[in-house]
Structures are given as C-alpha cells and as structure tokens.
Amino acid sequence: MVKAVDIAYETIRDGIRNGTYPPGSHLTAQALAEASGFSRTPVREAMRRLHAEALIHFIPNRGAFVATWSKREIEQIYDLRILLESFAASEAAMNIVDDQLTRLREIAQRMHAITQSAKPEVEAVTDLNDEFHKLVLDASGNVRLRNLLGTIVEIPLVLNTFRSYSLDQIRRSAAQHLELTDAFAARDPEWAAAIMTAHIRSARQTLMSSSDVQYPMLDAVDGDTAEDL
C-alpha cells in the first residue's frame, strides 16, 4: 500500500520539477497540505526527504525554500556531468543491448518530433531527456556510476536549461540525442563519448549565458525543527 508520505513526496517533487514551485519559492507545510489534500504530518516528512536530496533548503526563522544554485555550482554540476556521462556513453556503446537501443531511438525520435513545433513542450522534452539519459546509464552496466549521477543531476536545473534554449538550440539538442543513438548502434565508444561531451557542454554554456540564471544561493542549514516548516 502506498503511504501518504510517498504520495506527498512525489507530488511536491513533481511540482519542483515542472516549475510549479520555481527555484527560491517559499514552501509551507500548511499550503502544501491544502494543495495536496494531505495532513501536514506526511507533507513535513516529504519535505525532509526533499531536503535530504538537496531539492529544498531550510532556513531558521524563515522556513523552507526550493533549492537554488549559484553560477559556480552550475559550472561544477555540468563539469561533473561532462566527465561522468561521457564515460557512461562510452560504456553504453560497448554494453548496450538491442532492446535498450530500440527504446533510446524511440525516445530520441519523439524528442525530434516535439522540437519541430514552433513552440515545443519544454516539460515533455525534459521528461524524455531524463528518460534517455537514465537509459544510457542503465546501458552502461555501471550501477555505481548510475547511483552517483543520480545525486548530481538536478532535474529542475535541466528543465531551466531547456527553457533557456532558443528554438534552434533545442532542436540541436534533440539532434544530438539522435546522433548518440547512431554512435551506440555503431558500438563506437569514442564517438558516443564525444557527442555526449558536446551535448552537455552546450547545455552548460547556454544556461550560464542565460539572463534567467540569477539564483542567489540560499544558505542550507541542517537541524531545523518542524516549526520551520
């Protein structure tokens, strides 16, 4: 049986992910409970879980806020992604199985189709992008690498990256996913790593140059009480 705290957690996390609660938003257990239909107890526990994942920061006497990132932190996140995901891509090229390759191509083709619109659905592209990159990690066969990247990749940050893209840039990103599937099909680790590196480096450059990235970092403080929520 699914627990109320698990549903509350997924609901709030989805809200952070899809931009309902943008970076820096003030969150209260009361408001979230009213919005979700749960009592404050499971909502508070869900918020603590999100805090443990660094998606929410608690500030004494101010409350809970959706995580923000400094430009330096954005650089660090994307630098780590370049190193780790390029390696994952090279491993996937050598270890991928046919079913995984078929699914990756389906995802890439769907992304390509969505981005041909004059106004692509950014959330849909973000979801497909997330699924694609997770499947690449699965195809790499490296469980530790997958777990490590799970603590690094910030989905709200990825969503903001796609929102920062011009139409040409989002289409180029979709094209890179298609090219990655070609590299995997060719079982070419160097090609796959090169495309993944270029793909993530382009995302970093776009986000760093975006005027929308002006998130002052909130000081995360552990040990807050329930009253802070």
pTM score, two decimals?
A: 0.74
Instruction: Please indicate, yes or no, whether residues 57 and 75 belong to a single structural domain of this protein.
Output: no
Residue 65 three-state SS:
strand
CATH number for 188: 1.20.120.530
Which residue type does 74 have? I
- 63 and 111 inside one domain: no
**Which pLDDT belongs to residue 155?**
60
What is the number of H-type helices and E-type strands within the chain? Answer: 10, 3
Do 54 and 39 fall within a single domain?
yes
Enclosing domain of residue 65: 4-69+216-228
For residue 153, give the 3-state DSSP assignment: coil
Closest CA to 13 of 51, 61, 69: 51
Q: What is the pLDDT of residues 29-61, one digit of tens each?
A: 999 988 878 888 999 999 999 988 778 989 998
First to last CA, the chain: 27
Sign of the C-alpha dihedral computed for residues 57, 212, 146 and 126 taken in this order = positive
Residue 34 tokens read as: 């009213």
Do 64 and 77 lie in a common domain?
no
Question: What is the rounded average pLDDT of the residues 54-75?
Answer: 85
Task: Write the pLDDT tens digit of every residue in 142-172.
Answer: 999 988 887 777 666 666 677 778 889 999 9
